[in-house]
Amino acid sequence: MQLEQIVERFQSKDPRAFEKLHSMYAENICGVINTIVRNDLIAEEICQDVFVKAWNNADKYNTSKGRFFTWMLNIARNAAIDELRSKSHKQQKKNLSVEYFVDIAEDTKTTEFTVDKKRLKSLIINLKEKCIKIIDLLYFKGYTQKEASEELNIPVGTVKTRNRSCISQLRENMSN
């Protein structure tokens, strides 16, 4: 079955289509959340909530929102960022790291947070720091093009082209 058909069925509240989407994207969505909250248990909990939220708002998705995964990604990012801002989280983790997701690969201290470091390393091998930064801002932290250009101190147009070449490199690494 094509992705579009599955999404359509999901929108008409077919639990089986929803289960299919969950199996397709749960790992990725939970992964994004984990890079933000950096705690497996919290990430899993938020991840479940994100899927329930998607189910309850299924009728709000349409092609003007972009890809289905992109829509889910957006819900996930917002939910994870909300969690970071919440009181309970602040009490648990007073020092929020603003590190980039790839720092995880080098992180040896964290125990609450497991990552496929080997795979991550192989993916980002030979990616320059500026690439890692831009991918992190746009895909994991949810920065807009303009926000990313301000953060990285580069023209808005450059965000678009640099991101393109960085993702291309990532794709090359994937196939190697």
Partner 1 sequence: MDIKQYIDSGILELYVAGKLSDAENLEVYKLSVENPEILSEIISIENAILELTKTASPKTTYNFSPIKAKISISEDKKVIDINNKGSNWSQYLGWAATVLFAIGLFWMYNQNESLKSELEVVIQENEKLEQQISESNTSLEKSKELLATLRDKNISVIPLGGQAVSPTSFAKAYWNTEQQKLYIDAQGLPEPPNGFVYQVWSLKLDPLTPTSIGLLNDFNGDENKVFTLNNPNANGSEAFGITLEPDGGSKAPNLEQLYTLGVVSPS
Tell me which residues touch partner 1 (CB under 8 A): 13, 15, 18-19, 22-23, 25-32, 34-35, 40-41, 43-44, 48, 51-52, 55-56, 63-67, 69-71, 73-74, 101, 104, 113-117, 119-120, 123, 135, 138-140, 142, 144-145, 160-161, 163-164, 167, 170-171, 174
Least Å from the CB of residue 90 to partner 1: 21
- Give the residue with the Cβ less far from partner 1, 95 or 175: 175
Q: What are 157-166's contacts with CB under 8 Å, separation 24+?
A: 159/134, 162/130, 162/131, 162/134, 163/134, 163/135, 163/138, 165/131, 166/127, 166/128, 166/130, 166/131, 166/132, 166/134, 166/135
- Give the residue with the Cβ less far from partner 1, 7 or 87: 7
- Give the residue with the Cβ less far from partner 1, 78 or 86: 78
Least Å from the CB of residue 53 to partner 1: 10
Least Å from the CB of residue 126 to partner 1: 15
The helix or strand, by DSSP H or E, that contains position 66, with its residue range, turns out to be: none
Least Å from the CB of residue 95 to partner 1: 20
CB 32 within 8 A of CB 73: yes
Q: How many CB atoms lie within 10 A of CB 2?
A: 7
- Give the residue with the Cβ less far from partner 1, 97 or 144: 144
Cα–Cα distance, 75 to 86 (Å, whole number): 16
Instruction: Output phi, psi for 153, to 5 deg.
Output: 60, 45
